[in-house]
């Protein structure tokens, strides 16, 4: 089937749909709506003449000339009956225990067309909007896409919404929620504040007043511990996370941004709000940077990076955590991300906000290289698990392990697309796994691949279940399998051969950093402008040729 993806951005969900449909044998192309006027969009669709138009992430209106002539299906992040642009915001603010995704035909009224498919899911307590979107919403959206493609191929038609069962009661048209709707009052209980911050995650952010300045807060967690201090007082600090007194309990905040006429960059909280010599207090597990546990000969180190970005000091702390875990008398170290994030490499936001962005970028790439070297040079067997989608240096960090696996549904972007050559030992790890030809294609094409495709080409070793709990059990079984004496001996022998047949890791790192120095200090490929455009979410001027139909 010839399927056009009409989207506002080639985001994680759009990439997942693109990968899956292509792997199923469909002819798939993308057109980015911001690059078009209604007239040029209609002309583009007419030129393509697709069998089906899918809109997995679309904030723009589809021209009537398009949806009247071609089957056009919108994937809406709400259950049947829900309408409006702030569906997930309302679901989290209202503490809805269940939510859904609906695929419906585009019509004149937004989100009002007949229904092709709808799937619902439980909403975990305390989950952020971004995490919900990238997990349960994305999974339900993929179910919707599969159902739509199947029904279109069979010649079926959608049903009017009022003929479809309402799996979530009380849905209807809800208004757009702007930033003031998420305003915080320090006198409220910490749990209520954390929920509002979670609902505003990503955008628009939850605003609050502090010492005469307005901020937006992100990445929060509440504890019952009550300091008795004046609400809004900073009562603790753990790395860059800050603890605030509230009307009841303590609110921990990992990220913040200034808010004047416009919102400033989203940065680790202590880089935005003066911590005023706050005493050390251990952050709760929900926003802790690492978590380590040991089961016999196997150590498990979970790394948490908000939205996948890892700044210089964080990379240094993660390297220390890896080295500390490797100092134990374990035989295997398993490295994972969280359910909702793995890593996308260096922290472009912290780099851009630094007084000297080039110097900060240089410090950041060296710090993440130290982390990669610690993993790659370990004497123990190392296993890395892509628990969530990853990109650029985050992918390369995972590939530094002896064994790399992934969770089903994960999408990898194993390349650099920000005007930089890239480092993280990728000139060794990628070719070592897939050969020079495939490595050159992956790095040169700059296209996402699914975990399934990554396994097929040998980039990773295996793909585990999508369900988070099932994946945890599967990963534990994988680690135990490698701990079998015979298997472990074979793996260590292969590891020794791999080292003997490769140049020293410092060779690859030196070559990469020589290239990176020119990109960061001489800006030979526009790193600084591309970084600012990315952080500013600049609309694309055109759809990249690599995404269009041939």
- At 430 the pLDDT is 98
- At 501 the pLDDT is 80
Same domain, 366 and 483: yes
Same domain, 363 and 497: yes
Same domain, 137 and 219: no
Residue 489: other Cβ atoms inside 10 A: 10
The reply to whether 87 falls in a domain is yes
User: What does the angle CA 417 – CA 420 – CA 421 come to, to the nearest 5 degrees?
Assistant: 100
In angstroms, the Cα distances linking 295 to 303, 337, 422, 438, 483 are 17, 18, 35, 37, 11
The reply to whether 332 falls in a domain is yes
**Alpha-carbon dihedral 362, 366, 368, 373, rounded to 10 degrees:** 160
Same domain, 49 and 85: yes
The reply to whether 298 falls in a domain is yes
- pTM value? 0.95
The reply to whether 546 falls in a domain is no
User: Which residue has tokens 């097929």?
Assistant: 456
Tokens of 278: 């706050």
Same domain, 195 and 330: no
Domain with residue 254: its CATH number is: 3.10.25.10
Question: What is the largest distance, in Å, between two alpha-carbon atoms of the chain?
Answer: 67
Same domain, 307 and 249: no
Report the candidate in 124, 151, 126, 121 with the shortest Cα–Cα distance to residue 138. Answer: 121
Residue 425 near residue 369, CB atoms below 8 Å: yes
Report the candidate in 200, 118, 117, 188 with the shortest Cα–Cα distance to residue 156. Answer: 117
Q: Which residue, of 163, 193, 225, is where some domain finishes?
A: 163
Report the candidate in 540, 538, 547 with the shortest Cα–Cα distance to residue 33. Answer: 540
Q: Which residue, of 283, 304, 331, is where some domain finishes?
A: 283
Query: Could you tell me which residues come within 8 angstroms of residue 124 by beta carbon, excluding any fewer than 6 positions away?
Result: 132
User: What does the angle CA 501 – CA 504 – CA 506 come to, to the nearest 5 degrees?
Assistant: 155
- At 340 the pLDDT is 93
Cα separation of 283 and 281, whole Å? 6
Domain with residue 470: its CATH number is: 3.90.226.10
The reply to whether 324 falls in a domain is yes
Cα separation of 89 and 286, whole Å? 20
Same domain, 408 and 512: yes
Number of structural domains in the chain: 3
- At 169 the pLDDT is 87
Residue 294: other Cβ atoms inside 10 A: 14
Q: Which domain holds residue 64?
A: 2-163
Local confidence pLDDT in tens for the 550 residues of the chain = 999 999 999 999 999 999 999 999 999 999 999 999 999 999 999 999 999 999 999 999 999 999 999 999 999 999 999 999 999 999 999 999 999 999 999 998 877 899 999 999 999 999 999 999 999 999 999 999 999 999 999 999 999 988 888 889 888 888 999 999 999 999 999 999 999 999 999 899 999 999 999 999 999 999 999 999 999 999 999 999 999 999 999 999 999 999 998 899 999 999 999 998 899 999 999 999 999 999 999 999 999 999 999 999 999 999 999 999 999 999 999 999 999 999 999 999 999 999 999 999 999 999 999 999 999 999 999 999 999 999 999 999 999 999 999 999 999 999 999 999 999 999 999 999 999 999 999 999 999 999 999 999 999 999 999 999 999 999 999 999 999 888 888 888 888 887 778 899 999 999 999 999 999 999 999 999 999 999 998 888 899 999 999 7
């Amino acid at each position: 089937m010839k399927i056009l993806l009409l989207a506002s951005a080639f985001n994680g969900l759009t990439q997942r749909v693109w990968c899956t449909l292509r792997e199923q044998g469909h002819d798939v192309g993308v057109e980015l709506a911001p690059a078009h006027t209604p007239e040029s969009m209609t002309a583009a669709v007419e030129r393509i003449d697709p069998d089906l138009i899918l809109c997995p992430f679309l904030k723009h209106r589809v021209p009537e000339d398009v949806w009247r002539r071609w089957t056009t299906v919108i994937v809406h992040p709400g259950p049947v009956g829900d309408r409006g642009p702030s569906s997930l915001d309302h679901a989290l603010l209202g503490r809805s225990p269940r939510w859904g995704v609906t695929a419906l035909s585009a019509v004149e009224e937004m989100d009002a067309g007949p229904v092709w498919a709808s799937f619902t899911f439980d909403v975990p307590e305390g989950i952020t909007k971004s995490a919900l979107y990238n997990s349960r919403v994305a999974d339900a959206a993929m179910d919707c896409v599969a159902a739509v493609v199947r029904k279109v191929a069979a010649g079926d038609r959608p049903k009017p919404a009022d003929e479809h069962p309402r799996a979530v009661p009380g849905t209807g048209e809800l208004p757009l929620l702007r930033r003031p709707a998420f305003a915080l009052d320090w006198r409220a209980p910490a749990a209520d504040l954390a929920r509002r911050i979670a609902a505003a995650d990503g955008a628009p952010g939850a605003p609050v007043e502090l010492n005469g300045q307005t901020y937006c807060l992100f990445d929060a967690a509440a504890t019952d511990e009550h300091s008795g201090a004046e609400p809004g007082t900073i009562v603790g600090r753990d790395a860059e996370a800050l603890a605030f007194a509230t009307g009841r309990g303590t609110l921990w905040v990992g990220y913040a941004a200034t808010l004047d006429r416009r919102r400033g960059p989203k940065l680790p909280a202590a880089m935005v709000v003066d911590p005023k010599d706050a005493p050390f207090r251990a952050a709760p597990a929900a926003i802790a940077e690492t978590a380590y546990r040991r089961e016999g000969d196997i150590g498990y180190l979970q790394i948490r990076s908000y939205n996948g970005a890892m700044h210089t000091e964080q990379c240094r702390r993660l390297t220390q955590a890896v080295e500390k875990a490797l100092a134990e008398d374990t035989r295997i170290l398993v490295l994972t991300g969280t359910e909702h994030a793995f890593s996308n490499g260096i922290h472009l936001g912290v780099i851009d906000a630094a007084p000297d962005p080039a110097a900060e970028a240089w410090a950041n790439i060296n710090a993440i290289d130290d982390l990669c070297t610690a993993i790659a040079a370990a004497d123990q067997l190392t296993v890395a698990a892509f628990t969530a989608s990853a990109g650029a240096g985050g992918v390369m960090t995972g590939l530094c392990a002896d064994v790399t696996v992934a969770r089903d549904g994960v999408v990898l972007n194993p390349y650099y697309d920000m005007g930089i050559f890239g480092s993280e030992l990728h000139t060794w790890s990628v070719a070592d796994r897939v050969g020079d030809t495939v490595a050159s294609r992956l790095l040169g094409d700059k296209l996402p691949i699914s975990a399934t495709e990554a396994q097929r080409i040998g980039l990773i070793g295996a793909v585990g279940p999508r369900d988070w709990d099932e994946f945890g059990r599967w990963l534990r079984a994988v680690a135990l399998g490698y701990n079998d004496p015979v298997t472990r001996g074979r793996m260590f022998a292969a590891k020794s051969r791999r080292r003997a047949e490769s140049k020293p890791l410092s060779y690859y790192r030196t070559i990469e950093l020589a290239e990176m120095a020119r990109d960061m200090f001489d800006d030979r490929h526009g790193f600084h402008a591309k970084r600012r455009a990315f952080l500013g979410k600049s609309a694309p001027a055109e759809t990249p040729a690599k995404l269009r139909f041939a």
